Structure 1
Amino acid sequence: MYHQFSRATGRLVSVSASNLQSPLFPVAPIALQRAEPPAIQYNTAQMSTVNEACVASGARKTIPGTNIPYAPVPESIRKQQAQFQKDDDVPVFLKGGPLDGILYRLTMALCVVGLLGIGQTVYEHAFPKKQ
């Protein structure tokens, strides 16, 4: 005995095996077809080679795929990079100076206030006021 959906009612009905052309279960497993993956083809017309990018040892680096050099990095950004990469056992979110410390503490305080608000809401829903 098998089951199928009735077209008229949309409900599950029992059907004898003679009314079905083939049983629904068990389903025989089908072996996967093994195929070789396609080879990756690169567009070499738009890519520059290492020799083209490094014409001279003193040449500036170029944007990959072009011969356009990167824009020079301003000195202020170089100073910030040196400050943030310095190994002084200070977390990176505090390396910006005193303003970073203030923002960090403000963020932590707001997180605590939010957690207290969530706790208060859960408590009020768990123990409603008697009327």
Structure 2
Amino acid sequence: MFRQIQALQAVARRSISSSAVRQGNKVPHKQKLFQEDNGMPVHLKGGSADALLYRTTMVLTVMGVGYVVYELVKAAYPQKKE
């Protein structure tokens, strides 16, 4: 019985300590990438995901400004009641 408990403890200890996958430190790589002088703006140095996020933000901003201007013009010239 004691031997079975020891075996169970060894299996439990092994699975807990080795279950996490070790990942390396990514900070030095990111620092090198973002500090590189290649003429790109820093908000686009992250790759295609950053470019997509930037373009989406710009499109939504322009659409929002257009909608606000439309509503202001519509409010400035009220509809005639017939």
**What range is the shorter-chain TM-score in?**
0.5 to 0.7
- Partner Cα separation in structure 2 for residue 110 and residue 99 of structure 1: 16
Higher strand fraction: Structure 1 or Structure 2? 1
Larger-Rg structure: 1
Which aligned segments of 4 or more residues in structure 1 are displaced greater than 2 angstroms?
Answer: none
Residue 129 of structure 1: SS of its match in structure 2? coil
Residue equivalent to 1:79? 29
1:106 is matched with 56
Q: Which has the higher contact order (CA 8 A, sep 6+)?
A: 2
CA distance in 2, matches of 1:76, 1:112: 35
- The structure that is helix-richer by fraction is 2
Extract unaligned runs of 5+ from structure 2. 1-23
Gaps of 5+ in 1: 1-73
Query: For residue 127 of structure 1, what is the aligned residue in structure 2?
Result: 77
1:88 Cα offset (Å): 0.4
* CA distance, structure 2, for counterparts of residue 85 and residue 116 of structure 1: 36
Helix, strand or coil at the partner of 1:122: helix
Question: Percent of aligned positions with the same letter in both sequences?
Answer: 38
In 2, Cα distance between equivalents of 1:115 and 1:129: 22
